[in-house]
Amino acid sequence: MQIFHHVTSVREALGKERAAGRTVGFVPTMGNLHQAHIELVKIAQQHCDVVVVSIFVNPLQFGLHEDWDKYPRTYEADIAKLQDASCDYLFYPDEKEIYPNGMAEQTRVVVPTMTDVLCGASRPGHFEGVTTVVSKLFNIVQPDEAVFGIKDFQQLAVIRRMVEDLCIPVKITAGEIFREPDGLAMSSRNSYITPEERPRVSQLNESLNWVREQIEQGNREFLALEAEAVKQIEAAGFKVDYFTISSSRTLQPAAHDDTEITILGAMYTQAARLIDNVSLTLG
């Protein structure tokens, strides 16, 4: 695996790959890699000739009082996992490389739809930071295909919209949620969960699946289902950020005649904010 810290050098290396007719797959990450990240790498390997992973803990997508300074940085372990997965390239820039004129002066990319609800409502400016850095990374790597985890369903939808709106020639592929044995979605923030909380955090996934089963059985009382799910999560000892039954396409509250539905939830443990979702198609 070749490792690059600078835009010019990684562009030069990937330019040679493209000149040789090879397709480039890309998996952007913030490091602290786990098996779910490696599964995304495997998807990119199945679809493309060479695969690039980036590691950059993007300060632009963290708000005030969020955990940028505490976010786990496990560079050596990340390298070992990527090497074991036969990744071809790692792009590991520092903040000055990505924001050479400083974050305050950085040109921003804003997707005006789907960014002020769900995670965007509780994390103002978060998606502006995501779309800005992802657009920069797309310009640097110039991949044919980029793979994102569906656990961050809203992020995936926003990036797809950005690519469509800006005519960016990158195919966006979704990787399924990779879970722990008890159903908890794998996340870099799972390391924040205390041992006392750990047996109970699967409640978010359990409530999502309960609501899915209710809808599949014909229950269309969406507001009542959301309220009951919130009670379930609170009874397990957690604070709910949001729990919503949404249109998969727009992320707006689902209508009774919607056929593509995604149920999304976010909750707070003592030191982590966990998100998860499940989708269903109705006939």
**83 Cα distance to chain centroid:** 22
6 given a catalytic annotation: no
Helix residue ranges, H only, 142-241: 153-165, 203-216, 222-235
Which of the 8 DSSP states describes residue 272? Answer: -
SS3 for 31? coil
Task: Write the DSSP string, 37-74.
Answer: HHHHHHHHHHH-SEEEEEE---GGG--TTSSTTTS---
Is residue 94 exposed (0-12), middle (13-18) or buried (19+ Cβ within 10 Å)?
exposed
Check 6, 37, 47, 65 and give the catalytic one.
37
**274 vs 60: CA distance, rounded Å:** 20
What tokens were used for 85?
């997965």
Name the residues annotated as catalytic: 37
